Amino acid sequence: MEPSEKYLFKHKTCYFPHDLVTPEYIDSLEDFEIRDSDVFIVTYPKSGTIWTQHILSLIYYESHRNHTEDTDLLDRAPWLEYNIRKRDYVNRPSPRLFTTHLPHNLVPKGLRSGRAKDLRSSILKICNFLGKSLTEKEVDNIVVNALFDKMKADPRTNAMAESSDLLDHSKGCFLRKGTIGDWKNIMTVAQSERFDSVFKERMKKLPFKFCWDINDKL
């Protein structure tokens, strides 16, 4: 048994945590009804997901922008595949914001057909994409509140409300500013060698060169 199997299960080529979701729930998302006003943040892990959630919350909710409420991102733009707080997604009022790391073959049919919005861009591009007209002052305010240091100090974006069963806050902040080559400060030599071995075997056919160090030249 691989060490990961203690915590993860494999379903349709993807791995999921045992304690957060079931295969049946993932399958049920196939027929999740999409509204025209739905907004989906569809990302790879560690590619700016929290940042985009925060920007969308700042754009859509003046109360989030003005710090007049404490609703965190898990409620503002909840995870489609991990309904941790048991919210009623079906009857959630529009516009519904959702976040997901699901691959294309596992997202709802309506999302695959392009009915919902898929966002990964800058603040102004997101506003244009959504048809949201904000004043210059409002956009400036979003820019300030979307800065990494600002987000890291904001409990709504830094998962401070999560229980210690889910996140061990004593080990640091949920948000970390990743930099190229930072893996050297986290992975052991053995982990690095194992990663290199698996990566070389499984990615050998990809015609890409990856930058693993800040000094690497592409």
- Residues 6 or more apart whose CB falls under 8 angstroms from that of 53 comprise 41, 73, 76, 77, 97, 99, 157
Give me the pLDDT at residue 43, please. 92
Mean pLDDT for 122-142 is 83
Instruction: Say which CATH topology domain 3-171 has.
Output: Rossmann fold (3.40.50)
Catalytic residue among 18, 54, 101, 169: 101
pLDDT at 149 over 50: yes
Give me the pLDDT at residue 75, please. 94
Per-residue pLDDT reduced to its tens digit, 166-215: 777 677 676 766 666 777 778 898 998 998 899 888 888 888 777 776 66
**Is 104 noted as a catalytic residue in this protein?**
no
Distance CA(99)–CA(40), nearest Å, equals 6
Omega into 95 within 30° of 0, i.e. cis? Answer: yes
- CA 79-152-179 angle, 5° bins: 90
Question: Using CA atoms in the order 29, 32, 36, 37, what is the torsion angle rounded to 10 degrees?
Answer: -70
- Residues 6 or more apart whose CB falls under 8 angstroms from that of 49 comprise 41, 43, 99, 101
Give me the pLDDT at residue 119, please. 37
Give me the pLDDT at residue 216, please. 61
Per-residue pLDDT reduced to its tens digit, 2-54: 657 788 999 998 999 999 999 999 999 999 998 878 999 999 888 889 989 99
pLDDT at 76 over 60: yes
For residue 154, CA distances in Å to 31, 91, 131 come to 35, 29, 27
Per-residue pLDDT reduced to its tens digit, 94-126: 999 999 999 988 999 888 766 556 733 477 888
CA-based nearest residue to 50, from 73, 72, 66, 16:
73
Structure pTM?
0.60
Write down the domain spans for the chain.
3-171, 178-218
Distance CA(179)–CA(214), nearest Å, equals 8
The token duo for 12 is: 């349709």
